[in-house]
Amino acid sequence: MFDGEHYKRLGLAGAYQKIICSERLTAEDGDALFACPDITALAALAHHARYRRHKDKTYYVRNRQINYTNICINHCRFCAFRRDAGDAGAFLLSREKIIARVLEDEGSPFAEIHVVGGCHPDLRLVWFEELFREIKKLRPQAELKTFTVTEIHNLSRIENCATREILERLKECGVSMLTGGGAEIFNSAIRKRICPEKIGADEYLRISGEAHALGIASNCTMLFGHVETHADRVRHLCALREQQDKSGGFVCFIPLPYQPKHNALAAETPSGELTDSGLDRLRTIAVSRLLLDNIPHIKAYWVMLGIKCAQAALSFGADDLDGTTMEEHIGHMAGANAGQALSRMELEDMIRNCGFSPVNRTARFASLPVC
């Protein structure tokens, strides 16, 4: 790591001392980190924080991602995935097709079944309860990680009941974790522009805390690189950190770079207003690791970052690459081109080639034997 004088010259003397002493950074420190012109100095700080927590371990999971429908009542401007019922390309997978995909594990059962989709206007909770019970019966060792908090809210609307009741019923049929999607960016003015029908920051955090109180863990996310500012990202991260102080159930933070293809936001936004770039992605991951001192893991989601950027992110504070996924539509329909799946061996090679040690994990990051 660079010495303190170098960070003083960069205007980061205060942040540097706090990081070395494991003290909490302020939002103003986060602003300064984003403004730092020396990306290698920022990487050194984030890698220090990552190594202090995880040493050279980098995690991956053998998982199956299932996008069960793209029919959605919301009209998020950044989304290329959603459709109205009857539109060309609209789909709703049958329970039989979903079960078939859960069983397509090549003799090495998935540790995690990840189920997420659009906010369907009329799919009832009982449909999911029956599906999840069947999955747990067939694959009892797999953790069920399902739904964004937006989907939880939509189910409560359909069932005309509290979100807590939805969560309790999901827990009873085997769901142990929420995916964390739907946070987007918490700035309310930007939300009105990019996802006007979606629940706001307060509801996202409330429902997440409700799940945590019931023993349902979750990830958390941030969509970045569209029309938000670095200051918006910092305030978003601080809001997640504050919720984690309260409820403690966030397992992993996932920074999701905006994919600017085939969606309304890209069509109506001048290219100069979009803030995403390779270095900006790495900078965001580094600042996330430094600000989120109470969230254990930072994911370099290779599906949306791309494989090379995800590998670089391991030296910018990230300690997880997600997993095999097997199939993913949401990011790919918006322009992600990293492929649909990686094998366990490919993931382990990616990690080792970056100088780290691969760790096979569960959805909640318990270590598993390499199989």
The strand ranges marked E within 167-249 are: 175-178, 217-224
Query: What was the pLDDT predicted at 333?
Result: 54
CA 182 to chain CA centroid, nearest Å:
9
d(CA 149, CA 61): 22
Give start and end residues of each alpha helix (H) in 139-200. 149-159, 163-172, 188-194
Amino acid 330: pLDDT:
55
Tens-place pLDDT, residues 49-59:
999 999 999 99
Instruction: List the one residue out of 339, 345, 260, 356 whose CA is nearest residue 50.
Output: 356
Instruction: Mention every residue, 6+ apart, whose C-beta is less than 8 A from residue 152.
Output: 163, 166, 167, 178, 207, 211
- Tell me what pLDDT residue 53 has: 97
| pLDDT tens digits, one per residue of 116-165 | 999 999 999 999 999 999 999 999 999 999 999 999 999 999 999 999 99
pLDDT at 369: 87
The CA-based dihedral angle spanning residues 76, 236, 290, 351, taken in that order and rounded to the nearest 10 degrees:
-10
Angle at 40 between CA 14 and CA 46, to 5 degrees: 60
Residue 262: which residues within 8 A CB-CB, separation 6 or more?
80, 333, 334, 335
pLDDT of 274-283, one tens digit each?
A: 666 889 999 9
Please provide the average confidence, as pLDDT, over all residues in the chain: 93
CA 193 to chain centre: 21
Q: Where are the beta strands (DSSP E) in the chain?
A: 57-61, 63-67, 112-116, 143-146, 175-178, 217-224, 250-257, 297-298, 320-323, 357-361
Contact 313, 282 (CB under 8 A): yes
Percentage of the chain surpassing pLDDT 90?
Answer: 87
How does pLDDT run across 224-246, given as a tens digit for each residue?
A: 999 999 999 999 999 999 999 99
- Cα separations in angstroms, 194 against 1, 199, 246, 326: 39, 12, 28, 29
Rounded to whole angstroms, how far apart are CA atoms 179 and 363? 10
Q: Averaged over 185-212, what is the pLDDT?
A: 97
Token digits of residue 107: 């003799």
pLDDT at 335: 45
pLDDT one-digit tens code per residue, 92-122: 999 999 999 999 988 888 999 999 999 999 9
Show the domains of the chain with their CATH numbers: 4-361 (3.20.20.70)
**Cα 122 from Cα 326, distance rounded (Å):** 28
pLDDT in tens, 294-353: 999 999 999 999 999 999 999 999 999 999 876 644 544 544 454 558 989 999 999 999
b/e burial code for range 290-299 (CB count within 10 A of at least 16 → b): bbbbebbbbb
The confidence band for 271, taking pLDDT boundaries of 50, 70 and 90, is low
pLDDT surpassing 70 at residue 12: yes
| Rounded Cα gap, residues 246 and 46, in angstroms | 24
* % pLDDT > 70, the chain: 94
Question: CA–CA separation, 341 vs 323, rounded Å?
Answer: 8
Handedness of CA 175, 181, 187, 192 (dihedral sign): negative
- In the structure encoding, which two tokens stand for residue 1, read together? 């790591």
Report CA Rg, the chain: 20
- 19-33, 262-276, 337-351: least confidently modelled range: 262-276
User: What does the pLDDT read at residue 261?
Assistant: 83
